[in-house]
Copies of this chain bind each other. A is one copy, B any other.
Amino acid sequence: MFSIGTLGRRTGTKVQTIRYYEQIGLMPEPGRTDGGQRRYEDVALDRLAFIRHARELGFSLGAIRELLELSDSPERSCAQVDAVAQKQLSDVEARIARLEALRGELQRMIRECNADRVADCRILEVLRDHEKCLADHGRPDA
């Protein structure tokens, strides 16, 4: 039985974040002291560590919710778990691709700018005129 602060310290999570996870139903409501303070058991440590680790790997809270639900039925096929992870991988790959395109464009812009004055700045010129850009960028990086 330990406090929310201890739980936070042991998992590298801010107290407010733990309360937020409870609010959206990702963490179960813990017991309380007579005075109303939360008191956690060890199982909460595991669950929160799982959530934080998945977040570090970029999973959305929605995906994490799904993974937690799936892990509650250990006899089921893990195909769905694979699918969630696979989707996360595709997302990450798509973001990398997009960022690499941006990197190329930025590098080119910066490399080409040898001007002294703002008036001749190649960077601003490229930003002003889309045509001077090579790539056809989609939406701002998600």
A109-127 toward B: CB 8 Å interface, digit per residue (1/0)?
1100101111111011001
| Cβ 8 A contact of A141, one of B58, B110, B121 | B58
Whether the Cβ atoms of A46 and B99 lie closer than 8 Å is: no
Q: A56-B140, A106-B88 are in contact. Are A113 and B78 (CB under 8 A)?
A: yes
A31-68 toward B: CB 8 Å interface, digit per residue (1/0)?
00000000000000010011001111110000000010
Whether the Cβ atoms of B76 and A117 lie closer than 8 Å is: yes
Q: A96-B99, A100-B96 are in contact. Are A130 and B57 (CB under 8 A)?
A: no
Interface residues of chain A, those whose CB is within 8 Å of chain B, are: 46, 49-50, 53-58, 67, 70-71, 73-78, 81-82, 85-86, 88-89, 92-93, 95-96, 99-100, 102-103, 105-107, 109-110, 113, 115-121, 123-124, 127-128, 130, 133, 137-141
